[in-house]
Structures are given as structure tokens and as C-alpha cells.
């Protein structure tokens, strides 16, 4: 029992000594452009999701055999650059006009992610994994 108390006391001394050592912390200056870019990426992602949630877009996506919820999940999984590119395509559309190009882009993105094995939306694709 005496050996157990010694071992416990030694372990406690080592732990308390380790806790008293100063911890390293790092900080960096965040530029305004970096902070604005993070905010802009979130806004663009929400705008694309809002676009996909519109009735006419949702009906067109369903007509192509894609579940609108799967499309929204894929947009959420996209990188910021991909979302920015897709949002740029939405901005180029004429008001109330042709959405075929955007739907085709969404279809291609969904198809590529299916082929890469990241998702399974289309039954006619085979994963490379």
C-alpha cells in the first residue's frame, strides 16, 4: 500500500507541474478582405440554396430525376469557389428568363459527384470508388 501511495503522489506531482507550465497561444491579424470573403461565401451559398428552393427550379430539377433536397445538400457540400461560380451563373441569367443553363450546371455537378462516389443520386452512374 505504501508503494501505491508513493506512485500516486509522484504522478500527482508530475501532473501539477505540467499544469503550471505556460501554454502557447497564437494570434494573427485578420484583414477586412478575409472577413468579408467569409461572409460573402455564406451569403452566396444561401442565395444559391434559395434559388434551388424556388418552385419552378424545384419542378425542373425533379423533372430531371433529382431530389431537390439532395441538390441542396450538395450545394452545402460544395467549396466556396464552386458556390461562387454557380452564383455567378445565376447572376448572368436574364430576369425571369432562361434557367436551363443553371439547371444544366447543377446537373453536371451532381453527375460528377455521383461518378466520384461522393453521393448517389442517379441510378445510372457507377462510382469510381
CB 75 within 8 A of CB 86: yes
Residue 50 CA to residue 52 CA, distance in Å, equals 5
CB 103 within 8 A of CB 58: no
CB 119 within 8 A of CB 113: yes
Lookup: cell for 91: 447572376
pLDDT of 31-90, one tens digit each? Answer: 888 877 778 888 888 888 888 888 888 888 888 888 888 888 888 888 888 888 888 877
Spans of all domains in the chain:
31-129
Residue 106 — pLDDT band, cuts 50, 70, 90? confident
Q: What is the percent of the chain with per-residue pLDDT over 70, rounded to a whole number?
A: 91
Lookup: cell for 2: 505504501
Q: Is the dihedral of CA 5, 11, 17, 22 positive or negative?
A: negative
Amino acid at each position: 500500500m505504501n508503494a501505491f501511495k508513493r506512485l500516486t503522489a509522484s504522478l500527482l506531482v508530475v501532473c501539477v507541474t505540467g499544469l503550471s507550465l505556460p501554454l502557447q497561444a497564437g494570434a494573427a491579424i485578420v484583414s477586412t478582405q478575409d472577413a468579408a470573403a467569409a461572409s460573402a461565401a455564406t451569403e452566396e451559398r444561401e442565395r444559391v440554396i434559395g434559388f434551388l428552393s424556388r418552385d419552378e427550379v424545384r419542378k425542373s430539377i425533379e423533372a430531371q430525376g433529382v431530389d431537390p433536397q439532395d441538390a441542396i445538400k450538395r450545394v452545402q457540400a460544395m467549396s466556396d469557389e464552386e458556390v461562387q461560380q454557380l452564383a455567378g451563373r445565376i447572376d448572368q441569367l436574364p430576369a425571369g428568363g432562361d434557367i436551363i443553363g443553371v439547371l444544366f450546371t447543377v446537373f453536371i455537378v451532381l453527375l460528377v459527384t455521383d461518378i466520384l462516389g461522393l453521393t448517389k443520386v442517379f441510378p445510372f452512374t457507377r462510382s469510381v470508388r
